[in-house]
Chains A and B, each alone.
Chain A
Amino acid sequence: MIEIKGLQKLFNSGKQRVTALDDIDLKIEKGEFLLIKGPSGCGKSTLLFCMGGLLKPTAGAVRIAGEELYSLSDRELRKYRSEKAGFVFQSYYLLPYLTVAENIALQKKTLGAEISSEVVIEIAQGLHIDHRLNHKPGELSIGERQRVSLARVLMVNPDIMLADEPTGNLDPENAAEVLRYLHEYQQKGGTVVMVTHGAEADAFATRQITMKDGKIV
């Protein structure tokens, strides 16, 4: 489903060039729950962003279902990000001035589709945040906020869920709950690629890779 070949990403840091990704080859099949592990700064998030169409690599290819991601037009790339990929971040990135219901519908809105309040409620119920639909993110607990960001992704039912340390800010109980939702999504046929430091997701993973200095080791 996702095929990465010879991926390289260089960043300019002052006068120096830093190699964030160094000749990465990786294949991810549909329905996998892949964990990417490694120390801070090893390139895990950079790899995730490249897979999500958020960061153009310096060299190499990212193919999604056989199609080269970075040869797509801006419009097609946006469509990929709103329709095929879903992002869950450590910092949730909810819009503070929108209600929970509006935040959940946000990504789906980019597709121009009609938002059914029943679907929003159903997804919110599944994540136990249905009682919070009219609240603002600032009124939610940390765990609830992460569940709202998950709900935002689940609204579009993407092919692939890209999660960048989604449990990094959560207590063990909430972390376990979020992982359970990711697992549920994977069990229903979705593909999960998750970047993490810890071992809490190991039980759900179908595969793990470890990175160091921009390489898979």
Chain B
Amino acid sequence: MQFLKEIKYRKVNFLLSVIGVMAAVALMVVFITMTRASQNETRRLTRDMGFNLRIVPEETDMNQFWIAGYSERTMPQKYVQKLVDAKAIYYAHLTATLHKRIVWNDIEVMLTGISPDELEVGQKKKSKMIFAIAPEKVYVGYEIANKFKIKTGDKIDILGQSFEVERTLTEAGSDDDIRFYFDLKKLQSLVGMEGRINEIMALNCMCSTKGDDPLAALREQMEQILPDTKVIMNKSIAVSRERQRKMVDSYFELILPVVLLICALWIAGMAMLNAMQRRHEVGILRAIGYSTFKVALLFFQRAALAGVIGACLGFVIGNWFSLSYGPDIFKVTVKSIKADYILLGWSLLLAPLFAIIASFIPVMNTISQQPAQILKED
């Protein structure tokens, strides 16, 4: 174990090499953990901007749709399941809804039934965007509650049936403020439209669409699955969502290679310093019959050990940093910030390799010289 004796002798250089690897691994762990958290947070925050897709019956009169705020036409509720079964990749958080405008206590209000079963394409479980409402309860929009002084727990009559107010909503600044929210099934029976809906709300993640026109891709897919429907996209939400996510992704894609390059240069610098300090050692070892491979091995064993120690320390430090400061930055998805032990495995595999590659050129540059050339220097 000649290389261990050398490490013991040149502790400072070895320590600096370990620091280089440790910094690379710690930064990688921090970046990967934070990137994931940032992506989750961005996904969650942009998701909270609301549904950006509305799937309505084909024959919907769009003038009426935009004036009324919903389609007067209806379609079967089972369309949602059809979309799920078709594994429509561009749609997430599929929610069946039924809207109906009525006059209640002399004002126009909107009744909206929401299916408690938010369906997802694929196996992946996602956190719910909607709230489930019990059949005998109702959520009341801000304007209605304010106008009629309705409070949580009050009993109100709608279309001849009594409902308990589960919640009064905060001001939304949209037509949600004049809306009553019901359980979908309850509203269907209340308005005599069992099994019918007039809209499927969905979220387009924009992650699978290629090209410049995601809406065209969505419509093309919908044409094949539910030909008697059409898709309307809220472009401002969809585009902001897409831009925000792309911005976060490209930020990390840019930063990580720069950080890794700086660490590689650091390690290479340390290896060069070590190789220069050991020029005469290389010369004499080669002069007394050591092969180039055997001499190189002395350097690469050292680099590999620096890689292993640096990987362990870097993993610990990277996680400590992420777990200490991540929750302050990513408040919504705080639970998703945790140590990923697969990263430790990758670090232990890649960091020694990284250290060996970084030291390869300076080491080989010294070793490939003729021993006489080195030994004549004195």
| A and B interact | yes
Interface of B is mostly: helix
Minimum CB distance partner of A110 in chain B: B289
Chain B's closest residue to A99 (CB) is B5
Contact A97 B9 (CB under 8 A): yes
Contact A96 to B9, CB < 8 A, known contacts A49-B372, A49-B376, A89-B375: yes
Question: Scoring A residues 136 to 165 as 1 if CB is less than 8 Å from chain B, else 0, what string do you get?
Answer: 000000000000000010000000000010
- Write out the residue numbers on chain A whose beta carbons fall within 8 Å of the beta carbon of B288: 81-82, 87, 106-107, 110, 152
| Contact indicator B287/A87 (Cβ below 8 Å) | yes
Q: Output the least CB separation between A75 and chain B (Å).
A: 8
**A174 beta carbon closer than 8 Å to chain B:** no
- Complex CA gap A95/B277 in Å reads 12
Q: Kindly provide the distance from the CB of B124 to the nearest chain A CB, expressed in whole angstroms.
A: 55
Q: CB within 8 Å of A: which of B321-374? A: 370-373
B residues near A214, Cβ cutoff 8 Å: none
In the assembled complex, how far is the CB of residue B265 from the closest CB belonging to chain A, in whole angstroms? 27
**B375 & A54 in contact (Cβ 8 Å cutoff):** yes
How many A-B pairs fall under 8 Å by CB? 65
In the bound complex, residues from chain B placing their C-beta under 8 Å from that of A107 are 288-289
Bound Cα distance A93, B288 (Å) = 11
Contact partner of B280 (CB less than 8 A), chosen from A91, A106, A110, is: A91
Do residues A98 and B289 form an inter-chain contact, with CB atoms below 8 A?
Answer: no
Interface assignment of A78: CB less than 8 Å from any CB of chain B:
yes
Residues from chain A with a CB closer than 8 A to the CB of B290 are: 78, 110
Find chain A residues with CB under 8 A from B5 CB: 97-98, 102
When the two chains form their complex, are residues A93 and B9 in contact, meaning their CB atoms are under 8 A apart? Answer: no
* Cβ B6 vs Cβ A91 within 8 A: no
Residues of A within 8 A of B8 (CB): 97
Contacts of A81 in B (CB 8 A): 287-289
Let me know if A128 is at the binding interface, CB within 8 A.
Answer: no
Q: A45 near B: Cβ within 8 Å?
A: yes
User: Interface size bucket, A side?
Assistant: 20 to 34
> Across the interface, do B280 and A93 meet the contact criterion of CB distance under 8 Å?
yes
A55 adjacent to chain B (CB < 8 Å): yes
In the complex, what residue of chain B is closest to A138 when comparing beta carbons? B9
Cβ-based interface call for A83 (8 A):
yes
Contacts of A96 in B (CB 8 A): 9
**Contact (Cβ within 8 A) B284 A93:** yes
State whether the Cβ of A52 lies closer than 8 Å to any Cβ in chain B. yes
Interface residues of A in 60-102 (CB under 8 A from B): 74-75, 78-79, 81-83, 87, 89-91, 93, 95-98, 102
Set of chain A residues within 8 Å of B375, measured between Cβ atoms:
49, 54, 89, 93, 164
B281 at the interface (CB under 8 A from A): yes
Sample 9 A-B pairs with CB under 8 A, ordered by A number: A52-B287, A54-B287, A54-B375, A78-B290, A81-B287, A89-B375, A97-B8, A98-B2, A110-B288
In order of increasing CB-CB distance, the 10 nearest A-B pairs are: A82-B289, A97-B9, A93-B284, A55-B372, A110-B289, A49-B372, A54-B372, A107-B288, A91-B378, A78-B289
Residues of chain B touching chain A, judged by Cβ–Cβ distance below 8 Å, are: 2, 5-6, 8-10, 280-281, 283-285, 287-291, 370-373, 375-376, 378
